[in-house]
Amino acid sequence: MARSSLVNRSKPLRCFTASPPRQREDPPPPPPVHPPHFKAIMKHSASLFRIRILTTLTTVFAALSSTDVLLAQDMTTTPVGFVTITCKENSDTHVAIPLARSATFRGTVVSVSGQTVGVSGGTFADNQFQYAPGAQPEHYYVQFTSGQAVGRYADILANSADALDTDLPTADAALIQAGDSIVIRPHWTLGTLFPASEEGVGFIASTNNLQSGRRTEILIPDTAGAGINKAPVATWFYNGFWRKVGAVGVNGNDTILPAGSSVIVRGNNYADDTFLIVAADVLEHAQAVTLRTAAGGQNDNPVGPPLPVGVALQSLGLVGESGAFVVSTNNLTSGRGDELLVYDNTVALKNKTPSATYFYNGFWRKVGETTTNQNETIIPAASALVIRKKAQTPAGQTAWLVPSVIE
């Protein structure tokens, strides 16, 4: 379950609830090895209440971010907010990152040459956006916020005063034109989404590096492999810093969690729910999410659409001109196109199977209830999804443009 609020200087304060809050009983005392979380939770509750009543973006940025902001244009109407995600104890919670980290720069494209993007208004220090372990811990990316490449992004590898060297795919580069608007942001990482300061509230630290000492684990879904029901590609746990199972001596705090991705928060051997609090920018533009097909059969695409509020199936932007989602020809398995799989995070269970599977044939339909129109069915805020793509020869990929929730 996720609760969220949005704040915009130019509009009245709005508060959204993705689902009715459940009545919580007083939790049993935690095991002796874990201190009670009440004071920490109350600290965050007070902080979140203060954020709710703020009415100017300047104050909100001061409350939410310590990142310096370079302005190429006025940013006073950027909406910000927070989402609180309940991660049940001894369970898997499938989480999409619902908000983007604060913008460092906004401007427009002057030119594109190969993978180098020239920008207007840039007065950057050389390689200020280049990741440098121990010195510059952020991984920056440039995202295109208008034009034919809207929603696409590329990691910044190096930069000069007014140009960005990126890993921009050739197909995306062909869509970019001079005058397109851009934004530069740092990626979410394990250390910024789950910072040490949130230990005891957002996650529980492990007591040692052995499996018996594991508490909260972060599982990274497989987005590159082919097939369905794929195992996670990595498992992380916190013991002094974020450590990867199989390489426990390496500090993984700076590990990127890409835009549009998801994680699975697994609780092990503790009695209380944890509360992942995400406070950042609400996207005002579409987010491109890559969906891959396989030639030999169906392919699962774990995705994390940036939804800080609940959104109806028909408003996800999956079905339409983009061709991101293949519609079904009938309601039978033989006529099935792509499928959308969702998970129920209110159920305490590990290794969950999807709680519902949807497909599109004239309208959104649910497997097992194919005659009922599901267009208005709400996907809760911060929900991780799986898009199961139909087999395609040759294998390929397409971009799902997830619409902004800002009207």
pLDDT recorded at residue 384 = 98
Per-residue pLDDT, 35? 36
Is the pLDDT assigned to residue 194 strictly greater than 80?
yes
Higher pLDDT, 393 or 14: 393
Q: Identify whether the C-beta of residue 336 lies closer than 8 Å to the C-beta of residue 352.
A: no
Residue 347's pLDDT is: 96
pLDDT of residue 285: 96
Q: What is the mean pLDDT of the chain?
A: 86
Rounded to whole angstroms, the Cα distance separating 99 from 386 reads 19
Cβ 273 vs Cβ 263: under 8 Å: no
Cis-peptide, bond into residue 258, ω within 30° of zero: no
What pLDDT is stored for residue 407 in this prediction?
64
Mean pLDDT score, 242-271: 97
More confident: 34 or 292: 292
Q: Please give the pLDDT value at position 265.
A: 99
53 vs 212, which has greater pLDDT?
A: 212
Q: Which of 261, 369, 377 is nearest to 316 (CA)?
A: 377
Segment 324-335, tens digit of pLDDT? 999 999 999 999
Average pLDDT over residues 62-91: 63
Q: pLDDT band for 353, please (50, 70, 90 cuts).
A: very high
Please state, as a whole number, how many other Cβ atoms lie within 10 Å of the Cβ of residue 185. Answer: 23
1: three-class secondary structure by DSSP: coil
Q: Which residues contact 362 (CB under 8 A, 6 or more apart)?
A: none
The domains located in the chain, with CATH, are 105-186 (2.40.10.170), 287-402 (no CATH)
Instruction: For the full predicted model, state whether its pTM sits above 0.85.
Output: no
**In angstroms, rounded to a whole number, what is the distance separating the alpha carbons of residues 33 and 30?**
8
Which one is predicted more confidently, 406 or 63?
406
Q: Please check whether residue 286 is in contact with residue 404, taking contact to mean a CB–CB distance below 8 angstroms.
A: yes
Answer yes or no: are the C-beta atoms of 316 and 304 closer than 8 Å: no
* Residue type at 65 in one-letter notation: S
> Residue 122: its pLDDT value, please?
80
pLDDT band at 39 (very low <50, low <70, confident <90, very high): very low
What strand order describes the sheet that includes 339-342? 299-303, 385-389, 339-342, 356-360, 364-366
Q: Where are the alpha helices (DSSP H) in 289-384?
A: none
What DSSP string describes 143-179?
EE-SSTTTT-EEEEEEE-SSEEEE---HHHHTT--TT
What lies within 8 Å, CB to CB, of 342 at 6+ separation is 354, 355, 356, 357, 358, 379, 383, 385
The tens digit of pLDDT for each residue in 294-327 reads 999 999 999 999 999 999 999 999 998 778 999 9
Of the pLDDT bands very low, low, confident and very high (cuts 50, 70, 90), residue 78 is confident
Mean pLDDT of 229-235: 98
Q: How confident is the model at residue 56 (pLDDT cuts 50, 70, 90)?
A: very low
Lowest mean pLDDT among 56-60, 113-117, 238-242, 387-391: 56-60
> Distance between CA 194 and CA 253 in Å, rounded?
9
